[in-house]
């Protein structure tokens, strides 16, 4: 199996792990662990797609990684400020 495929499998595996753990109630979708898994998974899947190259998937995974990064690094509001 090619390096591109392995990178893609790891990336997609991380995305599916985050999704499954959210569905089972182990992670919140907006929690840092879930956002981190999404950022890493989408990043790896996007790199894999760029190496093939398959540009629609690069765009999809790039936007997914960007949204996860924004969620991960945005300042958190405390309950008192809401």
How long a stretch of residues is the chain? 82
pTM of the model: 0.87
At 32, list the tokens: 């840092």
Assigned domain for 13 exists: yes
- Total of domains in the chain: 1
What confidence score (pLDDT) does residue 75 get? 82
Assigned domain for 82 exists: no
- Rounded to 5°, angle at Cα 37 from 34 and 41: 140
Assigned domain for 80 exists: no
Assigned domain for 79 exists: no
Assigned domain for 38 exists: yes
Assigned domain for 81 exists: no
The predicted-structure confidence for 24-74, as pLDDT tens digits, reads as follows 999 999 999 999 999 999 999 999 999 999 999 999 999 999 999 999 998
| Distance in angstroms (rounded) separating the CA atoms of residues 65 and 70 | 9
Q: pLDDT band at residue 78, thresholds of 50, 70 and 90?
A: low
Containing domain of residue 21, as a range? 3-74
């Amino acid at each position: 199996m090619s390096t591109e495929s392995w990178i893609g499998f790891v990336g997609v595996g991380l995305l599916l792990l985050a999704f499954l753990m959210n569905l089972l109630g182990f992670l919140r979708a907006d929690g840092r662990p879930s956002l981190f898994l999404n950022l890493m998974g989408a990043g790896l899947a996007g790199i894999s797609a760029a190496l093939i190259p398959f540009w629609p998937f690069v765009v999809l995974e790039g936007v997914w990684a960007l949204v996860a990064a924004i969620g991960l690094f945005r300042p958190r509001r405390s309950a008192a400020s809401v």
